[in-house]
Amino acid sequence: MITRYSLPKMSGVWSEENRFRSMLDVELYACEALAKLGKIPKSALFQIQKRARFDVERINEIEKETNHDVIAFIKNVSEYVGDDAKYIHMGLTSSDVLDTALAAQMQGACDILIDDTKKLLKILRQKARRHKRTLMIGRTHSVHAEPITFGLKMALYFDETSRNLERLKRARQAVSVGKISGAVGTYANIDPFVEEYTCKKMGLKAARISTQIVQRDRHAEFLTAIAITGTSLEKFATEFRNLQHTEIGEVEEHFAAGQKGSSAMPHKKNPILCERMAGLARILRANAHAAMDDMVLWHERDISHSSAERVILPDSTILLDYMMDKFSNIVAKLVVNEDRMLENLNRSKGLVFSGKILLELVNKGVSRNEAYDLVQRAAFIAKKDGIDFIDALLADNDIRSILGAKAIEEAFDIKYYIRNIDRIFRRVGI
């Protein structure tokens, strides 16, 4: 991933240094297990643990000759260890090391994403509480529907983000699995104890069954959870972009001192970060699709998944980490124009209260179809003549004779529409 969209901690998880460090850990723990089984002399294990190290530049140099990164890695480590290096990688195949080390990297990456999500949840909770009763119009089909509050919108995003947190936790569990079972998963040349011991030391579970590799449905689940989480951010950001329309103007991205919106139009304040969320989420979804393609390998394995994973795993985790950081700042600094929300709510001149009038007529014994036609008639007259909806209702003899003026006026009480907001907030844990 390019530096522009990378944060240091997550990038460090996927650095070549950390990758080979994880691979070396697998090799050393495997040697410890083999020593416990009497397969490696204790003196040799001591020398291996004392001398084992690697140099990334040297590994890359050797790989130019071997065209095999694991062999290059082992050869480089052997240069430091000396004669006792003959015990390193004993009974293992390349994927035993690669997949187990990769699991540790994915686990570390997921831990960062989980922390990111918890931070976003905290900010969304604060925003929801602050605007719990900040009135605005709810929209369906982009058209005024009924009153809501901005806090209710934030509570909805909080609840969805809570589900994303659970998805990431499940994904972490799914990928925290290693394997050291040999070339086709039969333990022909390695004792199962080595797998159990090594995985435990690495903070992983041993796969119940494997081929030469850990099965890629786990990785697909991981990247799908990431893609869903990123798409949630896109969804939230898209709503902010819509609410920032000049004609709506209810929220705005924070515009810092010295920031510029357009090279040609000095007046512009554009929702560039929200738009960036939309663009980057597309990459996450594409990468999740590639991860599902990686599930389908020939026989006990081929290598078609490897090249894709070298791109999609670092890129997706790095991107979501970046997106989480940026979107948390978007929400924290979001400019909420409460007066404009109230102004827009009132623009329809009371038409948004039509549902309550409909129910009041039904409660008086009018059939739903007849009640609907009566209210619709008054609504269309109000809109056509540019008058307040309540005046159109009061002028309608049929409706007024059924409900009376007082009931009509009471139906326009905004409290009716937000009377259950406390219950909703409690239900989602805010």
Kindly report the length of the chain: 430
User: Which ranges of 67-191 would DSSP assign to H, the alpha helix?
Assistant: 69-81, 94-130, 150-175
Pairing of strands 143-149, 177-178: unpaired
78 is catalytic: no
| Annotated catalytic residue within 68, 254, 262, 307 | 262
Spell out a b/e string for 164-194, using b for 16 or more CB atoms within 10 Å of the CB, else e: bbebbeebbebbbbbbbbbbebeeeebbeeb
89 is catalytic: no
What single letter denotes the amino acid at residue 184?
A: V
Pairing of strands 251-252, 205-206: unpaired
Q: Which two tokens stand for residue 319?
A: 């991107």
CA-nearest of 38, 37, 33, 31 to 84 is 31
Helix axes 69-81, 16-36, angle to 10 degrees: 60
List, in order, residues 6 or more apart from 193 with CB less than 8 Å away. 33, 36, 37
CA–CA distance, 209 with 189 (Å, rounded to integer): 16
User: Which ranges of 204-336 would DSSP assign to H, the alpha helix?
Assistant: 217-243, 272-293, 304-332
| Annotated catalytic residue within 141, 142, 267, 401 | 141
Helix axes 368-385, 354-363, angle to 10 degrees: 150
Pairing of strands 177-178, 205-206: parallel
Helix axes 94-130, 217-243, angle to 10 degrees: 30
CA–CA distance, 214 with 208 (Å, rounded to integer): 10
Instruction: Indicate which residues carry an active-site annotation.
Output: 141, 262
